[in-house]
Structure 1
């Protein structure tokens, strides 16, 4: 009974992780993968989830071992680690925020059938996120995300099993794209960038874990923390496959591709569910899909400024009460820059998403190496060190991520 109470008090950061992952990488990229390539990219999704696994796990391991955030582990490695995180996170944070804001505005525009410009919808949604975070702080974020992930998980699972009875034969003359074509390689890299989510999110989970500890006044064991992590990670992996299957069942071989216009893209996305479940489902599924991508937007609006604020003060080696003020300034300024980007790419959702995901993937090997070094440092407690199999998987993951980054750059400049 005591173990169960501890687990209940611990569960939270893993669900936030799932919420961050499902919006962009699953709802948009996994569905596109199925629609364009059928089942061919399931192995890619499973492999990237496998090879990224250690670097997210290390975040929980470090926080449990030292009762510190992962960023403090970066600080112990040296200023190079903190500054690497800062520079990369500022770039990826703004681009990712812009991409999710545009995606969420497209879904909202579809739901309300409004003539309101996507830019104004994006501004409204980002403003709403900021207000939620300023008023509710961690408890509201935690509670809202659990509800959103639960709702999407239920409906996506129902749609997945109903899709298994659908026989969608390719149209005459349809040719599936070749996996090793330049355009396919570029998309695969984009798919993996946010799959299940950028590796810098490992820093967010450690910050959320500390926030959860303060909220519940309970410090979990490593076992309890990893249960929370595994719940979130398994949910994200399974749903990634489900979304790909939904895209494959409803659109692969039809000769119809996803639109770059956010609202039209959203209509096509919801129509996939309607095809499988019936038109009645649009009334429920459109809001659920919006809630899902909005949950990712809400997470990103919170996580990037929060982690960057912590990194700035750690790099300056200062302890101050001004962190709240800087966090608010960063939240507003990063949101403003992201919305400026949205205004320039307002009619190209797919390009925006691909740009954000590719940048995240190219940054992945850097964060992978840093996370590995934090839990293998000489002063890291022996009882918390990762086992040999996990170290080997991490090394394989670094090679995998670095190798595909090289392939991407080669295909970009050579092919």
Structure 2
């Protein structure tokens, strides 16, 4: 790794896993939540979206730091805390995958059904799932990173470009940095902080770091730059959608409903105000956003599950590409085929609520276990938590406990 910094731009040549994290973490659900927040409260919750990105930087950086410092994985660390962690994660990841698979497929199908109405929404959702499964079945991390970079480029150009077109003056946007809670905004505030940038996929970052070939604490600096870039991109996307929601909807008194179909409602507004080409470009950008999340989750969470399976059932280490193993392909199939049954109920909002609740149940677990693992004396000094990391992780743990409680009240209500 010493030659990484020896040439101008050397560090930037290695950037990649963070882009995959950004693409995976910013799914249709994040964009819908941000768009709805903008449509209801204008720029007032901009600060919450930014705090959400900062929190996720700490969580994904901590997970990857443990990978680099120990040469093992975050699951190895969890196992050292007790076998209960393996039970918790195993049960969680099976239920989460079933719900997320249906959510991701239906969300990605929405813009495709609008652009190409030759198939119903359920038909497009099934094709999306099959495409994600086929991609991870036949490809490795290197191909995933290349494809995701293209999709992120489309996302950036379309969504940020749209925000620039409709953006107000900078001082007006910056008013959203004031820490205020408009009446009725607590639910959306917690959702922005907790949901922006992904949930369980933040812990998958360490696996992509390993797939990239980074090993040892010598890669900490590169990893931190890469991870920070991921959430800068995430923050840009989220702020862009907040601007779109605030300018096109809040200012006109239009409040979107709490479902992924809200993005299609926005495309109608765009067509009316800015013309059909802009509306079509928006749907393309939405499709790229959602499908990049499908590819990232299908790959990253299958890596995660494979590691859990090997450790929990004491299987020998894999010799060769992980993507060709049975546990990897079995979990990719689990994300794809059983959730298709949920697509026929055509209840995308219920799926979004269930997904949000299960995502909230993982985040306190991740934050608390990172606090326990990254303060150990057997870690290299440069890999241990400092006071700032401990403060952010502790605050995150408290925040996500509150969010999990709020989400469970929501789902049972």
TM-score, normalised to structure 1, is: 0.86
- Note the C-alpha offset of 1:220: 5.7
Q: 1:316 to 1:9 in 2, by over 3 A?
A: farther
Match of 1:297 in 2: 294
| Alpha-carbon distance between aligned partners in 2 of 1:387 and 1:134, rounded to the nearest angstrom | 40
User: Quick one: distance in 1 between partners of 2:410 and 2:147?
Assistant: 41
- Give the conservation status (yes or no) of the 8 Å contact 1:25–1:196: no
Note closer, same or farther for the CA distance 1:59–1:205 as it changes in structure 2 (3 Å cut).
same
In structure 2, what is the Cα distance between the partners aligned to 1:65 and 1:97? Answer: 32
State how far apart, in whole Å, the 2-side matches of 1:179 and 1:63 are. 41
Corresponding residue of 2:77: 73
- Cα distance, 1:189 vs structure 2: 4.1
* 1:231-288 superposed Cα distances (whole Å, 9 cap, x missing partner): 11111122212211111111115444435786x5443233455567543223433222
Per-residue Cα deviation, 1:315-341 (whole angstroms, up to 9, x for no partner): 122215496112112221332221112
Task: Point out the more displaced range, 98-107 or 219-228.
Answer: 219-228
Given that residues 193 and 357 in structure 1 are in contact (C-alpha distance below 8 angstroms), is that contact kept between their aligned partners in structure 2? no
1:97 matched residue in structure 2:
101
Residue matched to 1:313: 310
Instruction: Output the CA distance in 2 between the equivalents of 1:326 and 1:273.
Output: 44
Task: For residue 149 of structure 1, report the CA deviation from its aligned partner.
Answer: 1.0
Corresponding position: 1:152 with 2:155: yes
Are 1:29 and 2:33 counterparts? yes
Of 275, 279, 287, 1:282 maps to 279
Distance 1:395 1:227 in 2: 23
Counterpart of 1:201 in structure 2 is 201
**How many correspondences in the alignment?**
394
Give the aligned partner of residue 390 of structure 1: 389
RMSD: 2.8
Report the CA distance shift for 1:5/1:295 in structure 2 as closer, same or farther (over 3 A).
Answer: same
C-alpha contact (below 8 Å) 1:190/1:361 kept by paired residues:
no
Structure 1 residues 3 and 384, CA gap change in structure 2 (3 angstroms): farther
Q: Encode CA deviations 1:330-385: one digit per residue, 9 max, x unaligned.
A: 221332221112222x1x32332232123212331112111222212232222211
TM-score by length of 2: 0.86
For 1:366-377, list aligned pairs within 5 A. Answer: 366-377=365-376
Between the aligned partners of 2:113 and 2:258, the Cα distance in structure 1 is 14
Tell me the residue number matched to 1:175.
none
Partner of 2:130: 127
3-state SS of 2:212 partner: helix
Partner of 1:2: 6
**How far is 1:406 from its partner?**
3.5
1:145–1:123 Cα change, 3 Å? same
